[in-house]
Structure 1
C-alpha cells in the first residue's frame, strides 16, 4: 500500500470570507459552497484544498478550539509573473486582507509577497524572477 499526500485542510471561522479570498487566487469551489459545512477545490497535480467550518470540526471534536497566536498554516501560490505577484497582493490588500510582506525581489530568485487569509493563515505569492540577460 502506498500513502500519498492528497489534501490540505483549513478551518474557516467565516467560510464565505475564506471562499472569497481563495477564489480571488483562482481556486474553484462549487456554487453555493458558502452554505456547506465542508467544501473542496481541486488543485493541480491531484491535490485538494478543503475548507471546514469551525462547527464541522466541533461536530466530531467537541472540545476543539482555534489555535491561539495567529497563523495556523502557510500556503504558497505560484503566479505567472512578477507583475502578477504585485497585482494579486494589491488586490487582496485593497479588499481588506492584511499584507504581511509587500512584494520584493527575494535573494533566492523570486518576486515574493505574503498576505493573510481571513483566519490569519500566511499565504505567499511568488513568481520566478527573470534570469539576468534574458
Structure 2
C-alpha cells in the first residue's frame, strides 16, 4: 500500500483557501470535506486538509501561529523551472504572496516560495534529474 500524507492547515476563510489550492492544481475531494474543512488532493499520496480555525482547535489547544511567523515550509517538486514559475504565479493570482523568501537558483536546482492566504509557505522546486543521480549538469544546459 502506498503511504499517504495528510497535511493539516488552519485557514481563516475556507472558500478562499479552497480557491487558492485549486489554482495550484489541487482537486477537491468532497467525500472528506464539509463546512468546517476541505480535503485538497495533489496526488494519490499527498492530501492537504484545510480546516477552519474552530475545527482546527478541536485537534489542539496550541495557538495558531500569527501571520508572519514561521511554522513550516512545504517543499514540492515540479517538472521544470517554468513549472516553478507557473505555480508561484498561479498562487499569487489567487490570494497568495509570491517570493516571501528570495528565489534560489543553484543551476542544478531552482526554487521559489509562495505564501498561501493564511501564511503557510510552499516551496515549489525543480531539480535537475542528473543531479539527483550525483551528476549535475552545466547551469546553461539546464535552464528553460
- Please indicate, yes or no, whether the TM-score normalized by the shorter chain is above 0.5: yes
Which consecutive residues of structure 2, in runs of 5 or more, have no partner in the other structure? 130-136
Cα displacement (A) at 1:12: 0.8
TM-score (norm 2): 0.69
Residue correspondences, number: 128
Structure 1 residues 5 and 90, CA, compared in 2 at 3 Å: closer, same or farther? Answer: closer
In structure 1, list runs of 5 or more residues that go unmatched: none
Whole-angstrom distance in 1 between the partners of 2:22 and 2:46: 16
Alignment partner, residue 96 of structure 2: 97
1:66 aligns with 2:80: no
- SS of 2:69's partner is coil
TM-score calculated relative to the size of structure 1 = 0.74
- Work out whether residues 82 and 129 of structure 1, in 8 Å CA contact, stay in contact via their aligned partners in 2: no
For residue 21 of structure 1, what is the aligned residue in structure 2? 20
**1-side partners of 2:46 and 2:7: how far apart?**
8
Evaluate the alpha carbon distance shift between residue 45 and residue 17 of structure 1 in structure 2; reply closer, same or farther with a 3 A threshold.
same
Q: Which residue of structure 2 lines up, in the alignment, with residue 9 of structure 1?
A: 8
What SS does the aligned partner of 1:29 have?
strand
